[in-house]
Each structure stands twice: as structure tokens, then as C-alpha cells.
Structure 1
């Protein structure tokens, strides 16, 4: 599990990371893991950028990779979309 500091502040995310995280969260609410292609389609960002953001978010504990896709990482708050 990542250290608590890495998850403290959403303001530390770049604009692209925030867009990617929101798209992944929206898919996860629908019980769908997020793939780079799906997130790129939702955000309009290039797939290479999305992959870098997904990897960065996973390294920070916000997402967790699973079978080529990403799910929300550990959190103690609810999502409403």
C-alpha cells in the first residue's frame, strides 16, 4: 500500500492525471475496469499520455492495475456519478 502522503492531496495531480482518474473512477462506478483505450476515448487525451497517467496514478496508490486495466485504489470515500 502506498504511504498516506501520496494520497493526501488531489491538487498534486496534473490536469491530465485528474482527467484520467475521473474517467477511470466513472468506469469503476459502473463496475468496469478502465483501459487506456477507453480512458483516451473519454478524455480526448493521446493514449500514450493516458498510459503514463495511469501508471503514475497506480504508483501513487490511486489506481491499481489488474489484467491490463485499472481499478480504483484503496480509499475511504464514496463516489457519485
Structure 2
């Protein structure tokens, strides 16, 4: 994880994927890659690249077979 969480360092795609993770986590406790692709309208490759960035920054964490939210300092409306 990189030092400091700078939400401004995230791309629009990263924020879009983060919002999809947040929505699915609230609904089911975990976000699966297939659901993130459907919810975001992005390709699986784009979602996976974004997840790599989000995990690096600590915003998203692996959770079982899916993904969950890591510690964060901002709110997301969805």
C-alpha cells in the first residue's frame, strides 16, 4: 500500500470501480469481478487494472473470492 490516501490521484475509472465495489459490498458483503464488470460497464481487463490500483492505495482489499472496502477517508454516494 502506498503512503497516504490521495483520492485525487485516482482516475475517473478508478472512482467508478470503487463506487461499484462500495454498492455491491453494501448489498452482499463482497464484490465479485463479474458483478463489477456488469455494474461499471467496463471490460474485465479495465476493471482488473483499476482494482490493482485501488488495492495498491488500500481503498479496496481482497475479500474471499471477491473484494471489499479498505479503510477510507471519503464518502461515496451511489
The SS at the match of 2:14 is helix
Aligned equivalent of 2:20: 23
Aligned equivalent of 2:9: 12
Contact 2:33 2:66 in 1 (8 A): yes
Aligned equivalent of 1:59: 56
Q: Which has the higher contact order (CA 8 A, sep 6+)?
A: 2
* 1: CA distance, partners of 2:72 / 2:32: 20
Q: TM-score, normalised by structure 2?
A: 0.82
Q: Report the count of equivalent residues.
A: 78
Shift of 1:23: 0.4
